[in-house]
Structure 1
Amino acid sequence: MKEILVRTISGVLYISIIIFAMFTSREWFMGLFFVLAVITLSEYLKLVHLTSYLAYFLLAAAFYFLSYDVFADNAVYLLLILSGFVNLFLLKDVLWTSKIPMFEKKKYITVVFYIISGFVFLTLIPIMDIDGPFKPELIVAVFILVWSNDTFAFLVGKNLGRHKLLERISPKKTIEGFVGGMIGAVMAGFVIFKVLENFIPMDAERYPLWIWVSLAILISIFGTIGDLIQSKFKRQAGVKDSGIIMPGHGGLYDRLDSIIYASPFIYAFLLIVDNVS
């Protein structure tokens, strides 16, 4: 009971800070997520046994030149393509290799095109029109889909889970939990659309119901993959959690692993939808 209480209080505080920063201003949003990115990067570097001040410089430069003040749209699109390839290679390593290679070059590739780019695209989502206004409701909706997927996956998996999803990497994950998480995310997508339809009709027209359902399914799939990838990193490092900053949850990397991996695919999906429509 005490562990559940600590976990709940920690989670509520974490969610409250994120939502507060999102709706305050773009500067507050960028500032908070830069701090989150620095802490997550620090946890990741420890996990893969890499000491690098260069990584923090690259993070700061990417945040400023590719997210806050984009110097070239094509640079963002190039980063998106490279990040997609690296993330898919990480998926391949999870499925078909017993151990993700951890030599120096691969470490820096994952630092740039997995961790850093994950945060860059996360902070680009609320400004899908790069020169357009900051739309916090879009990134809040994405986080709600992620949290809904995680919550329903946990509840369904714990109570109904019988068949393991990928036992050699994450023994607690089940197929039932994965399906439950996806259903929960789709339900949340339906609620989000109805809220937008009633309060922000322009956004509901731009992003109709089928987009939210598709986004929910995409987040459920890629978010789960991101969680499995992080689980494999931790298993190789021989640790239970990536950090201790969040009581009952572990580190920030533990909380953000799903969205970090999924964000380039979310951004690409919304980019395609905007361009096609």
Structure 2
Amino acid sequence: MAGLVEVTRGVFVATHDFCTSTTTVVAADDGTCLLVDPGISPAELDTLAADLARHGLRVAAGFATHPHWDHVLWARALGDAPRFATAAAVVATAADRERGLALADEFAPGTDHDLYGRLTPLPDGAECVPWSGPRVDVVEHRAHAPGHAALHVVDAHVLITGDMCSDIEIPLLDLDAADPLGDYHHALDLFGAVADVQQVIPGHGHVGDGAELRRRLTADRHYLDEISAGRGDDDPRLTQAWLVRDHRAQRAKISITRTG
């Protein structure tokens, strides 16, 4: 794990070896912080807690962008602050708990089962994270996973996209959804409508600037169009066997849906 790096004033990112995962920290002037998608291994979570302490930061709230196992982790060293997620993500995390814990045990041995997925649903109608720090708007959608949400750190002009807008991963659809392609296009449209984004932070991959966000949105829309046409094998992000496998599964499922 790379230590916390300040990508813009008050926003820090740590990058982990597992799937180039990112943890994001939004700092407030009073020394508290919002901790988004902390990961991945128990040792990294403890190191993260130590890094926060060195920066004089105390976790006031957490946020899980979506219900997949590597985004709902926690450690006792991070404290007992509320960990928010959309209501749909909370339900999905609970429903998939057994499988999620099995994956956590496989890829992050020693995961604290008691703290895994202990999420608090956002209040009904909440448009931003309920904490006392900088305003962080919630952009809820249905792409990739039920209850997925991006976070817009308004004054910092940062968009935290969860498992979307990656420079190293293709769009990964929720193939259990009624309209996987439509859901994904809608989410990309929501991201494109966020004004004045100067930094994009994906859940897996590297931080980019506003121009890079626009490039990734274009690349992702192109990929969706390609698999709709039964193509997409030449996407430059298909560099790992598991991505090729998931790409082929997506293309096949979309093809069946189109012709069914």
Do these two structures clear the TM 0.5 threshold for a shared fold by scoring above it?
A: no
| TM-score, length basis structure 2 | 0.25
Q: Which has the higher helix share?
A: 1
| TM-score, length basis structure 1 | 0.24
Structure scoring higher RCO (CA < 8 A, sep ≥ 6) equals 1
